[in-house]
Amino acid sequence: MQQMEVKDNGLIIEAESLSFSYEHQESLNLTLNDINFKVEKGEFIALLGANGSGKSTLARQINALLPLQRGKLLVNGFDAGIETNMRDIRRACGMVFQNPDNQFVSSLVEEDIAFGLQNYDYPQAEISSRVAQVLEMVGLPGFEQRNPGFLSGGQKQRAAIAGVLAVDPDILILDEATSMLDSEGRKEVLETVQRLHREHHKTVVMITHYVEEAILADRVCLLSAGRIIADGSPREILTQPALLDQTQLTAPFAVRLFFELANKGVNLPEIPLTTNEIVRQLCQSK
């Protein structure tokens, strides 16, 4: 019998030489090209890259929505190359997508969350307490009887996250989950994700086009044409405008301001990531 689970090495996602083509397995037209991507349990990763660079494909590969073609992929200890592990991998990875309106299957928040639980044969007697628990976790206590269609954008995404949390995934993958929201909705969702990471120890992989959001992560990975071209702390990656430019991304406002000021002969001691850091440095240099 094949071994189902492998030894715990602290990594919750372990991709080695991972390649994927939508055409066929032997195609040279690779959407993911020799990806090495390792995520520790409890880490918060921001995955950045231009349109079409392969971010969603990598997310779908991790979540076993796409079959493993080449390379090695372990998710939560389960080998993605073994067909019988698919259900465990999908349960371990909760996916939240861009458009909250496409994520609901019911006109009642509680039914929507219960649906996922029933799919995993969760004991009927515990369903309503579990629904209340996950709504609390996303800051929507008492929203059981609400119609998800009538919630604000931020509330909708948080209700969608509650649905995903119901079956207790260790990993949350957010695929541009804030891109359709206004700044208030974005803030609500980001604060929720940070709380789930800090207080509930969820591993987070957040795909985003907003470099300012990536500042919140422990680590930033840059994807370009199916390859990971940079992997480091937000400070290492986001303070390099030329590197970001390769992926059609613009450096955070504070970084751009630092270089503009330097052009005018105003040199701050270190490259800041946020406006607060600029203000602190300017006040200190007075």
Ligand X SMILES: Nc1ncnc2c1ncn2[C@@H]1O[C@H](COP(=O)(O)OP(=O)(O)OP(=O)(O)O)[C@@H](O)[C@H]1O
Interface residue with ligand X among 15, 18, 45, 53 (CB under 6 A) is 53
CB of 55 to Mg ion, least distance (A): 5
Interface with ligand X, residue 163, by CB under 6 A: no
Interface with ligand X, residue 15, by CB under 6 A: no
Interface with ligand X, residue 149, by CB under 6 A: no
Cα three-residue angle 139-142-145, rounded to 5 degrees: 125
CB of 245 to Mg ion, least distance (A): 20
CB of 27 to ligand X, least distance (A): 11
Is-contact 80 71, C-beta < 8 A? no
Our CB check for Mg ion shows the closer of 56 and 157 to be 56
Q: Which does 53 bind (CB under 5 to 8 A by kind): ligand X, Mg ion, none?
A: ligand X
Instruction: Write the burial class of residue 122 (CB in 10 Å: 0-12 exposed, 13-18 middle, 19+ buried).
Output: middle
Interface with ligand X, residue 49, by CB under 6 A: yes
> What is the residue type of 219?
R
Q: Which does 94 bind (CB under 5 to 8 A by kind): Mg ion, ligand X, none?
A: none
CB of 55 to ligand X, least distance (A): 4
CB of 251 to Mg ion, least distance (A): 21
Interacting span for ligand X (CB under 6 A) from 52-60, 104-112, 198-206, 265-273: 52-60
Interacting span for ligand X (CB under 6 A) from 51-59, 132-140, 187-195, 236-244: 51-59
Q: Which does 163 bind (CB under 5 to 8 A by kind): Mg ion, ligand X, none?
A: none
Place of tokens 């609500």: 188
CB of 65 to ligand X, least distance (A): 10
Interface residue with Mg ion among 21, 56, 178, 192 (CB under 5 A) is 56
Interface with Mg ion, residue 247, by CB under 5 A: no
Three-state helix/strand/coil letters over the chain = CCCCECCCCCEEEEEEEEEECCCCCCCCCCCEEEEEEEEECCCEEEEEECCCCCHHHHHHHHCCCCCCCEEEEEECCEECCCHHHHHHHHHHEEEECCCHHHHCCCCCHHHHHHHHHHHCCCCHHHHHHHHHHHHHHCCCCCCCCCCHHHCCHHHHHHHHHHHHHCCCCCEEEEECCCCCCCHHHHHHHHHHHHHHHHCCCCEEEEECCCHHHHCCCCEEEEEECCEEEEEECHHHHHCCHHHHHCCCCCCCHHHHHHHHHHHCCCCCCCCCCCHHHHHHHHHHCC
Interface with ligand X, residue 54, by CB under 6 A: yes
Our CB check for ligand X shows the closer of 76 and 224 to be 224
Our CB check for ligand X shows the closer of 243 and 254 to be 243
Give the interface with Mg ion as residue ranges (CB under 5 A): 55-56
Give the interface with ligand X as residue ranges (CB under 6 A): 22, 31, 49, 51-57
